Amino acid sequence: MRATTFTRSRRLLSAALAAGAMTAASGLVATPAQAGSGMGCNYPRVCFWVTGSPYNGNPPTASFQDNWYQTLGSRSKGADWVYNSRNDDGAKIYYSGGGWVCVQPDELAYLEPYGYAVAIDIMNSPTCDY
């Protein structure tokens, strides 16, 4: 009886290994989580809407993805909306009056109440800390 149990265990182990190999070969293996596209803004970008609204399906007028201070151009300066599609980087938005606001990962922000956006700094911190 002991030999039968050992043989049965080997068969179950072999079947489990074969099933695992077939799953891996079929591409059904879990992959790490990653942000997708939101509001028409592809990962890993921070997108701006100078005209239109992301809620109405309007495409972004500009996007940024590099981690440093950058002056906004005509398609992003003075934007009404900004969306941060990044997983763990905050986007510090600077205003012409000297203030700033942090747009955290996966956050859509309405900028108009804060002032006129003129620059962005994508930071390695979700809360825009140095």
Model confidence over 75-99: pLDDT tens digits? Answer: 999 999 999 999 999 999 999 999 9
**Tens-place pLDDT, residues 97-109:** 999 999 999 999 9
- Label residue 39 by pLDDT band (50, 70, 90): confident
CA distance 84 to 64: 10
- Label residue 65 by pLDDT band (50, 70, 90): very high
Which residues are CB-neighbours of 91 under 8 A, at least 6 positions away? Answer: 46, 64, 82, 84, 102, 103, 120, 121, 122, 123, 128
pTM: 0.71
Do the Cβ atoms of 101 and 114 come closer than 8 Å? yes
- Label residue 112 by pLDDT band (50, 70, 90): confident
Average pLDDT of the chain? 81
Specify the pairing of strand 90-95 against strand 69-71. unpaired
**Cis link prior to 44 (omega < 30° from 0)?**
yes
**What pLDDT is attached to residue 32?**
39
